[in-house]
Amino acid sequence: MRQLIIIGSGPAGYTAAIYAARANLKPLVVASSVEAGGELMNTTEVENFPGFPEGVQGPDLMTKMQEQAERFGAEVVYDDVTALDLAGSVKRVTLGSGRVEEADALIFATGSAYRKIGIAGEERLSGRGVSWCATCDGFFFRERTIAVVGGGDSAMEEATFLTRFASKIYVIHRRDELRASKIMQERAFANDKIEFVWNSAVTDILGEDAVTGVQLTSTVDGSTRELELQGLFVAIGNDPRTHLVHDQLELTAEGTIWVDGRSSRTSVPGVFAAGDVIDPTYRQAVTAAASGTVAALDAEHFLAALDEAGTPAPDADQIEGLPVL
Ligand code: NAP
């Protein structure tokens, strides 16, 4: 049996792995089969991660984090968790391959998943003009007219990046002011290829086999109109990935995993959580990395206390005072 399993391979998971590996806990990192490295694998230049004054490519940063964790003894497996059993003192993790791993402690750092608009056409035309990843799919829209939905940093980043390919980019936002940081806004405003469509919601995506346009509904007076385009990039935020644990760990009203104060301790002893999956507010690579550090230190203390006591970890139902949310 292992001491520690880390689920997730974004900045939180790998930073937790670096700390845990340096503490000689020999953590297993379950990195996912298709999304290893997390969200930064889908981004280009990261300009705000400290230590890189010239910026760093997202995938390069994640490769370096992985190498750093492995250098100290972390083991990385490219597989998905299909089932988790957290209730007992031994945490059981079932992988897609059927392999079952057990550990005394577990760090859950699964990040967040792209949010969907939830309208007709979105699923049907996914991969046929509807995308959530400009760096993955931008290339297919050379000299096309496309739109990005959203008003946050992601939408500004995607729109600006897509100007490399598309001839015209609408940014469709439901309000008349952006949520994005000033620097990202200004960059988008200064780009001639980008036109803002304010106070508008995308209420339908048009096209049979490929996107031909969208229906817009005014959030001010409810009037509708159609906009012709060939691609739609959805960048309206993310939701924490909690489907594996929503019936085993307490969640907050925002849908993130509940943790005790500034710690990473969840409602189940021996289970710690870090990164976007506990953070409804900041969700930066550097805050996720810091959160991974907290989780590794908490797990280390938990395991050290187990060693000292020489007893198995308490089961969840033996702990009083769990939060009622
Ligand atoms: P976000 O900040 O939550 O912004 C989401 C945007 O989508 C908001 O403008 C929101 O509108 C809009 N929206 C949400 N649900 C919608 C819906 N159902 N229909 C239409 N519009 C909807 O998410 P984000 O832009 O993905 O950024 C997430 C975090 O990552 C932020 O902390 C951000 O700073 C960070 N980030 C940083 C960088 C960078 O620094 N380079 C790049 C990307 C992301 P309202 O404004 O009306 O709520």
Give DSSP secondary structure letters for 149-196.
E-SSHHHHHHHHHHTTT-SEEEEE-SSSS--S-HHHHHHHHT-TTEEE
Q: Which distant-in-sequence residues (6+ apart) come within 8 Å of 183 by Cβ?
A: none
Query: What percentage of the chain exceeds 90 in pLDDT?
Result: 85
The answer, yes or no, to whether any atom of ligand 1 lies below 6 A from the CB of 116, is: no
Averaged pLDDT, 304-312: 81
From 114, 117, 179, give the residue whose CB has the most ligand 1 atoms within 8 Å, as the site to mutate: 179
Q: What is the H or E stretch that residue 260 is in?
A: none
Ligand 1: which atom is nearest the Cα of residue 238? 26
pLDDT higher than 80, residue 172: yes
Task: Compute the distance from residue 187 Cα to the ligand 1 centre, in Å.
Answer: 16
User: How far is Cα 37 from Cα 42, in angstroms, rounded to an integer?
Assistant: 9
Q: Indicate the residue type of 219.
A: T
Of 226 and 308, the one with more pLDDT: 226
129: nearest Cα among 204, 202, 207, 197 = 207
Q: What confidence tens digit (pLDDT) does each residue in 237-283 have? A: 989 999 999 999 999 999 999 999 999 999 999 999 999 999 988 88
The single-letter DSSP state of residue 199 is: S
* The pLDDT value given to residue 321: 45
Averaged pLDDT, 33-53: 88
For tokens 């939830």, the residue is: 118
Q: Which distant-in-sequence residues (6+ apart) come within 8 Å of 301 by Cβ?
A: none
For tokens 């490519």, the residue is: 57
- Please report, for residues 42, 50, 254, the alpha-carbon distance to residue 184 in angstroms, rounded to integers and kept in the order given: 18, 18, 26
User: How far is Cα 164 from Cα 160, in angstroms, rounded to an integer?
Assistant: 8
Q: What is the H or E stretch that residue 207 is in?
A: none
Give CA torsion, residues 72, 78, 82, 86, to 10 deg. Answer: 0
Ligand 1: which atom is nearest the Cα of residue 201? 20
The answer, yes or no, to whether any atom of ligand 1 lies below 6 A from the CB of 153, is: yes
Task: Compute the distance from residue 168 Cα to the ligand 1 centre, in Å.
Answer: 21
Please state, rounded to an integer, the average pLDDT across all residues of the chain.
93
Q: Annotated catalytic, 239?
A: no
* The pLDDT value given to residue 112: 92
Query: What percentage of the chain exceeds 70 in pLDDT?
Result: 95
pTM of the model: 0.80
The answer, yes or no, to whether any atom of ligand 1 lies below 6 A from the CB of 200, is: no
The answer, yes or no, to whether any atom of ligand 1 lies below 6 A from the CB of 48, is: yes
| pLDDT band at residue 312 under the 50/70/90 scheme | low
Averaged pLDDT, 89-93: 97
Catalytic residue from among 60, 85, 136, 176? 136
pLDDT higher than 70, residue 124: yes
Which pair of tokens denotes residue 216? 């817009």
Q: What's CA 156's distance to the chain center, in Å? A: 18
Task: Compute the distance from residue 271 Cα to the ligand 1 centre, in Å.
Answer: 29
pLDDT higher than 80, residue 142: yes
* Beta bridge pairs of residue 215: 204, 226
* The pLDDT value given to residue 173: 98
